[in-house]
Amino acid sequence: MEVKLKFKNKIYIISSLFLILFLALILFFIWPTANGIKEESENFALAKKEIAVFSAQSEELQKFKKNYSDYQANLEKIGKAFIDQQNPLDFIEFLEKTASASEVDLEMSPLFFSKEGDSDVASLRLVAKGGFLGIIDFLESIENGSFMIEIQGLDMSHFEDKKIGTKGTQANLSIKSLAK
């Protein structure tokens, strides 16, 4: 019986050793290899997506270069929509001509340039005097004009100048525009 018991113990010990060896093999070799394959597969899929995006961007860039002459006129118009910080004369002339066409007298404060986030911005206060419809026409004209203008504040009131005998509407407004 003792021999059978020793033999059974040897079988249990050998079986246990094989089980431990098998688990160690899984734990130290197969598991890390499977995780490495999984990570490399994810990296490969990500790289494949990046290549596809880069390829699409490259195609779009080639199309843009090919059609640049078609876009050039519009790009020039967009460039002119910004106030030139070094020479804002075009913007000032635009305001004066628009006011004159709308039969509005215009007083302007000096232009103030500042930075808002990544954009350069020009701010200006205007006082426009004239008929109500002229003021409305002036406001519509500067909003729809060639410069990117945002009216930030508007205060309209009736005025009467008894010295020269005129009546009308006065608009005090703050405007902001993108600058280059």
pLDDT, residue 163, reads 66
How far is Cα 57 from Cα 64, in angstroms, rounded to an integer? 10
Which residues lie below 8 Å from residue 157, measured CB to CB, with a gap of 6+? 169, 170, 172
The 10s digit of each residue's pLDDT in 15-30 is 888 888 888 877 777 7
Q: Are 111 and 122 spatial neighbours (Cβ–Cβ below 8 Å)?
A: yes
Q: Where are the domains of the chain?
A: 1-66, 82-179
CATH architecture of the domain with range 82-179: 2-Layer Sandwich (3.30)
Containing 66, the helix (H) or strand (E) segment is helix 31-66
In this prediction, the residues of the chain whose per-residue pLDDT falls under 50 are: none
